[in-house]
Amino acid sequence: MNELEAIAGGTEAAVVSDLAQQALKPQPVHPAELYVLPDGRGGVRVVSTDEYSTAPRHTAAARVVTDAASFVAYVNRHRRPGTEIYAHTNSSSVVAVIDSHEPVTEEAFLPGWQKHTLRLALEKSKPWLAWEKADGHLFAQDEFADFLDDQWSDVIDPAPAVLVDIATTFHAKTNVDFNGGVRLDSGDVKLTFEEKTTAKAGQKGDIEIPKKIQLALRPYVGGPIYSIWAHFRYRLRGGQVLLGFKLERPETVLDAAFADIVTEIREGRTDKRDGVETRVHDGIGDVPIFNGKPSS
């Protein structure tokens, strides 16, 4: 067979195939079924008709919520006999596998698809983020004053008015040289300064800063409020003062906040105000909670 005959033969076969396809009658397709069809290359391909069904064969979803109440509500709405929850402290993550393996007996389980999950993505509150960002940082005098102006409402000891007075003093004393600092018997710090002037001797004075302040912060949005101490720090450099705070073991507060959120998921939440208890939401009941992460 020469080249022209081969081309002609191929063309004829293609025409015959097209005519055969045109002769086929329409066939009904049943939704939610799988079909195996030739792929035209000697193999087969699988075609799913899920998209034409009223519902898919298996639930597949990866939902995300941001508070414990929403997490509990979703789990209770979709829970199955095999639903389980994983809590991981170091990453502050809680994941529910709604369609995990379902128990048949005490020793046997019906395998689950594990395609329906829910993740609790905790969000830190804005006040916590502000203090976390400032933790260990030394500010210039005016920056420190601005920080106190913005965050004084987070302070419960000393009185917030004391922090406002300190901020006001630092705002007013920008044209001074700081030449020393002493720690008082109370642990507070007294910074001494002298006003800059060329006409006569500058006025001298001092500013007292508390050794530490007590904060009331909500680590996670929607979670409880915790007390945490911030220790005052300062550095003197060429007549200028750098000021800041160091939080006392913030990681411990975050761990406690996460543990309380997991407890809220398990047992629910009841708020008490003015001696009256109000049930905010129930927990997940007998859904098991494991320490760790589900395998990816």
Q: What is the pLDDT of residue 263?
A: 96
For residue range 142-160, list pLDDT tens digits in order: 888 889 889 999 999 988 7
What are the pLDDT digits (tens) for 170-207? Answer: 776 666 666 666 665 566 667 776 676 554 455 667 77
Taking the C-alpha atoms of residue 226 and residue 254, their distance in angstroms, rounded to an integer, is: 9
Say yes or no to pLDDT of 5 above 70: no
The pTM score is: 0.77
Tokens of 265: 């998921």
Look at residues 88, 92, 42, 34 and name the one whose alpha carbon lies nearest to residue 66: 92
* Biggest CA-to-CA distance, the chain: 116
Instruction: Give the number of other Cβ atoms within 10 Å of residue 126's Cβ.
Output: 9
Q: Is the pLDDT of residue 293 over 60?
A: yes
Average pLDDT over residues 67-87: 96
Domain boundaries, the chain: 61-123+278-291, 126-253
Dist. CA 165–CA 221, nearest whole Å: 30
| Residue written as token pair 């105000």 | 273
Split at pLDDT 50, 70, 90, the class of 87 is very high
